[in-house]
A and B are shown apart, each in its own frame.
Chain A
Amino acid sequence: MRRREFVRVSATATGGLLVAVAVPATARRALADDRAGPGVSLGPFVEIGSDGSVTIASKNPEIGQGVKTSLPLLVAEELDMPWERVRVIQTDLDARYGDQFAGGSTAVSENWEALRRAGATARHLLIAAAAARWDVEAASCRTEEGAVVHQASGRRAPYGSLAREAARLPVPGAVPLKSRAAYRLIGTRVRGVDNGTIVTGRATYGIDARVPGMLHASVVHPPFGHRIASLDDSRARRVPGVVNIVRIEPLPSPLHLREGVAVLAQSTWAAIQGAQALEVRWTPLGGAPIDSSEVRTAMLAAIERPGLAVRSDGDVDAAFAGAARTVDATYEVPLLAHAAMEPINCLAHVRPDRAELWGPMQDPDGVRELAARVTGLDPRAITVHMTRSGGGFGRRLMSDYGAEAAYLSKAAGRPVQVLWTREEDLSQDFYRPCGVHRLRAALSREGRVVAWDQRLANPSRYAYAKADRPPVSSELYADDFPARCIENVRVTYALIDSGIPGGAWRSTLHSSNAFAVQSFVDELAHVAGRDPLAFRLELLGAPRELEYGGHGGPVFDTGRLAGVLRLAADRAGWSRPPSAEQARGIAGHFTFGSYAAHVVQVSRDPAVGVRVERIVVAVDCGQVVNLSGAEAQVQGGVLDGLSAALHGEITVQKGRVQQRNFDGYPLLRMREAPPVEVHFIASAAPPSGLGEPPVPPVAPALANAIFALTGTRLRRLPLAGAMKELSKASG
C-alpha cells in the first residue's frame, strides 16, 4: 500500500526540535460501521528538547496490545536514540495525530512507514545541523547513542545541543530509511514502557481516573428487547451515600446509548448497593427474537437450503453429481462476550461550554462523537483522555459507555464516573455472533477435493447495527480459503433475525469461520486417508498470490500459509507420532495480513477428559517489531482462542443473558493453560497484524487433535463439556 507522506518541522518554545509526519487515517475508516474517519493529518511525534530529552508521542489507545511500546520504538529506531533515554507519552485524542484507534490489528502496519519517517527526518536534521556547525559534509557524520559524531575529527554533539539549530533547517525531502540489517531495536525484545507503573499499582486505568467532586454511578439496563415499564427508586434513595437517581433516555440506536437507570452516589459501593435496591419492571417491545435457542432453531433450519450467493466458482452441482464420495458436516459456534478484565467504565465532566472524558477506549473519536450528541456540545469543545485500558477485545469499539457517562454528568451537573458491575458488563455486551455452518465437499476417486459447498446462517452484526453495508460482509469473507484453491466453490449466506446485540470480537468472524473450515478440511483429509498436513499443503497448491478483498488484503499468499503450516508442524515434531495416549491436530488461517498455524497436542486425562498439553505456533506477520511484545500477543491470542474454544458461550432467554459472572462465563485459568511455543517466520515483508491472527486456528486445531486422539469429531463450540463426556465414554 502506498501513501503520500508529509513531514513538518518546527521549533519548540524552549529551543527544541519538533518533528511531525502525516499519518494515514484509514484503519478506522475501514472498520467503523457507520462513520467515516478523518483524512490525512499532521501531528507532532518527536520532541527533542534542548536539554537532551527525547519525548515520543504514542497516539493509539493502549489496550494491552503493546502499541505504547511498539509505535514509539519505530521512531527511536530511525532516530538512533537509546531506548532507555526515550520518554513515551500517551497523547489525548487530537486530529493532528491521524488515526487513533485500536481495532483490526492495524496499529503497527498503518504507522510503519510514517513513524520511521518521523525518526529518520529528525535524525537527518540533527546530522545536518552538526555538519553545518562543524563545516563538514553531512555524509561524513553518523549518529550513535543519541549524538552526532564526526569520525575524522573525533567531534561529537549530543542531540540536545543540536535541536535549536536543527529546527531552523529546511525540511528535507524523502529521507532514506535504515536497511533491515541496520536495525538495533526493531526485532529485538523491548519490555513494556508502563511495566514499572503497572507492577507498583500506579498505572491509571479508566476505573482509576479521579477528579474533584466526582460522583460514582452504577447502572441497570433493560434486558434486550425490553423497555422500562415502571421504576420505584424509593429504597435506592435511602441507601447511605446515594445522591441521585437518573433515568437514561436512549438514543435511537442501541449502539450509541441504551436505556437505563443510574444511581449516582458518593462512593462506588453506595452506587452498586443503590442499583441493587432499584425496583424496575420491564416490558417487552416485541420484534426480533431475543432467545438464543430460538435463533439457533432458525439457523439450523436455514442451512437446509442455500442462502444468498457470496461466491460461486465453476459448477458445484455438476462436480457433486460426478463425485466418487461426498462429505457433509454441520458446525456450530455460540455467542461470545468480551469480558475484558476492566469492566466498562468512563468518567465524564460536562460543563455548559465544554466537556472532558477519561476512560479505557478503542475508538476515542467515537466517544467524542457520542458525547457531543448527548450533550449538544461541539465536538471541538470535548477533550478525550485515553487511559490505559484493561483489555478491549472489540467491546470498546462501541462507545455507548462514553455517551452514558456524558449523559449522566450533564444530568448531575458534576463529574460522574460510571462503572458497570461485571453482571452488567456481561449482560450488556455486543456479542460475537453465533452461527451454524454446513459444509459439503465432493472428492474424486483419488481423494482430491473437486467441489466445496459452504452455507452459513447467522445473525449479522452489521444487520444488528443497521449499518450501511451488506449484512453478510461482517460474517463471511468471500476470498477466504479455500476460494481459488478448489475449482468449484459455492458459498452462501442466510441472515437470521435476532434482537441480541452483535459486535466485533477479537478476529471478528474469522474466529468461527476458521473453526468450521479448518475442522472440515481435517475431516476430508481423514476421509481421503491422507495426512492432515500434507492434505492442506496440497490444497494450497503452488505458492502464489491470490486476490483477497477482506481484512489484511489485497493478497493472500498461499506460500506463506504453507510456510507457517510447515514450520509449526516441524517444531511440533509432526512427522514423529506421539505416544498412544497423545495426539496432535493442526490448523492454519490467514487474516489481517498475517499467517498463523497451530499444532495442538492433547492427551487423555481422567479429570477433564482430554487435556491440552502443548500448543506450537508459527506466525508470519512480516517484520517483527518488538519480539517480546509480538510473542506476548501470540501467546495471549492463542490462550484467548483456547478459552473461547473450551468454555465460551453466552445464552439469552427472554432478552436476559444467563451468564452473570465468571462462574457462569468461565475464562481460562492458569491450571488449564498449556505452554505456547511461538515461532516467527524471519521476514523482510512490512509488518502486518498480530493482535488477532493467532486466535482463529486454535479451536479447529484442538478439535482436530481431539479427533485424532478419540475418533470423535466435535463440531459444536465450546468443547469443554463434550471433552469431559469423552473420558466417560472411553471408560
Chain B
Amino acid sequence: MSDYLLQINGARRRVTVSAGTPLLWVLRDALGLTGAKYGCGAGLCGACTIHLGGGAVRSCSVPVEQAVGKPIVTIEGLSADGHHPVQQAWMEEDVPQCGYCQAGQIMTAAALLGRTPRPTDAEIDSAMSGNLCRCGTYQRIRAAIHRAAGAGA
C-alpha cells in the first residue's frame, strides 16, 4: 500500500491504496465519491468518466499514479449545487431513465462543450459515442447538449 496525494474537486486528499489501483476504485471505495460508476472496467462504456487535467478520461483505466499532480473533477464537483449548464439541461430535457450512465455522459458532454462550445450533431455523436446508454436516452442527450450549448456551457 502506498500514499498518494490527489487534487479532487478543488480539495487535496491523501489516500492509501495499492499501487496501480484504478482511479475509479480510489474515488468510490477510498474517498466515498460514488457518482462515477463501474460498467466494464475496460474503458468501453464510459460510465466512470471524470475529468483529469481538464479532459474527460475513463477512470477505470487510469492508475492512481497517473492522477497525481493533475486536477481531478468528478460529477460531485462539476458544480456546487447541480447548476452547471449541462446538469441543468439534463434535467430540463428529462434525460435520465435508469440514470446509471448519466454521470459519465454529463462529464463527457461538459468536456466536449469546454473545447467545442457549439457542437454540431456529428461532433456530439463523435464525442459521445464512447458512452453507452442501455436505456436509449441518446436522443435526449443530443437535445440536452444543444440546450446547454445555447446556455453557454
Contacts and interface: CB of A to CB of B under 8 A. Distances in A.
B34 A388 contact: no
Contacts of A393: 134
Interface in B10-67: 17-18, 21-22, 25, 28-30, 32-42, 44-45, 47
A268 B136 contact: no
Given A199-B82, A267-B25, A422-B40, A340 B90 contact: no
Interface in A58-102: 63-66
Nearest to B81: A200
A208 to B, nearest CB: 4
B2 to A, nearest CB: 10
A422 B137 contact: no
Q: Give the interface residue-count category, chain B.
A: 35 or more
A174 B115 CA distance: 61
B146 interface: no
B94 interface: yes
B34 A201 contact: yes
B36 to A, nearest CB: 7
Contact of A636 (B36, B97, B131): B97
B134 A339 contact: yes
Given A199-B96, A207-B34, A210-B32, A671 B125 contact: yes
Contacts of B81: 200
A213 to B, nearest CB: 14
A388 B28 CA distance: 17
A669 B132 contact: yes
B6 interface: no
B100 interface: yes
B82 A189 contact: no
Nearest to B40: A422
A198 interface: yes
Contact of B74 (A198, A201, A208, A637): A201
B142 interface: yes
A390 interface: yes
Contact of A341 (B28, B29, B37): B37
Max count, chain B CB within 10 A of own CB: residue among A64, A200, A270:
A200
B132 A662 contact: yes
Given A200-B87, A201-B35, A391 B135 contact: yes
Max count, chain A CB within 10 A of own CB: residue among B44, B135, B140:
B135
Nearest to B128: A670
A676 B142 CA distance: 13
- Specify the main secondary structure of chain A where it touches its partner: loop
B45 A670 contact: no
Nearest to A267: B29
B41 A272 contact: yes
A671 B75 CA distance: 24
A447 interface: no
Contacts of B116: none
B135 A201 contact: no
Given A191-B94, A341-B101, A673-B139, A661 B40 contact: yes
Given A64-B99, A210-B32, A341-B98, A670 B76 contact: no
Interface in A283-325: none
Interface string B93-132: 0111111111100100000000000000000111011111
Contacts of B87: 199-200
A628 interface: yes
B149 interface: no
Contact of A422 (B30, B41, B98, B134): B41
Max count, chain B CB within 10 A of own CB: residue among A269, A341, A393, A638:
A341
A639 B136 contact: yes
Max count, chain A CB within 10 A of own CB: residue among B1, B103, B126:
B103
B133 interface: yes
Nearest to B83: A200
Given A201-B34, A269-B21, A270-B18, A341 B136 contact: no
B94 A628 contact: yes
B138 interface: yes
Contacts of B101: 341, 390
Contacts of B29: 216, 267-269
A341 B39 contact: yes
Contacts of A663: 42, 44
Contacts of B103: 198-199, 201
Contacts of B100: 64, 205, 340-342, 390-391
Given A201-B74, A388-B99, A240 B45 contact: no
Contacts of B151: none
A343 interface: yes
B98 A199 contact: no
B74 A421 contact: no
Contacts of B39: 341-343, 422
A131 to B, nearest CB: 39
Interface string A339-373: 11111000000000000000000000000000000
B141 interface: yes
Contacts of A340: 98, 100, 134
Contacts of B106: 199
B142 A267 contact: no
B91 interface: yes
A102 to B, nearest CB: 11
A388 B144 CA distance: 23
Interface string A202-240: 111101101000001000000000000000000000001
A202 B102 CA distance: 12
A203 B99 contact: yes
A636 B135 contact: yes
A211 B91 CA distance: 30
A29 to B, nearest CB: 26
Contacts of A633: 97
A280 interface: no
Contacts of B95: 195
A391 B35 CA distance: 16
A192 interface: yes
B11 to A, nearest CB: 16
A208 B36 CA distance: 10
Contact of B76 (A200, A272, A643): A200
Contact of B18 (A210, A240, A629, A661): A240
Given A341-B134, A667-B134, 5 more contacts: A199-B103, A201-B36, A267-B30, A342-B37, A671-B129
14 contacts: A66-B97, A196-B82, A198-B96, A199-B96, A201-B36, A205-B100, A216-B29, A267-B25, A269-B25, A342-B39, A343-B38, A422-B41, A669-B132, A675-B139
Interface of A: 63-66, 189, 191-192, 194-196, 198-205, 207-208, 210, 216, 240-241, 267-270, 272, 339-343, 388-391, 393, 419, 421-422, 628-629, 632-633, 635-640, 643, 661-663, 667-671, 673, 675-676
Interface of B: 1, 17-18, 21-22, 25, 28-30, 32-42, 44-45, 47, 74-76, 78-79, 81-82, 87, 90-91, 94-103, 106, 124-126, 128-142
Q: Shortest 4 CB-CB distances between A and B: which pairs?
A: A201-B35, A64-B98, A390-B100, A639-B136
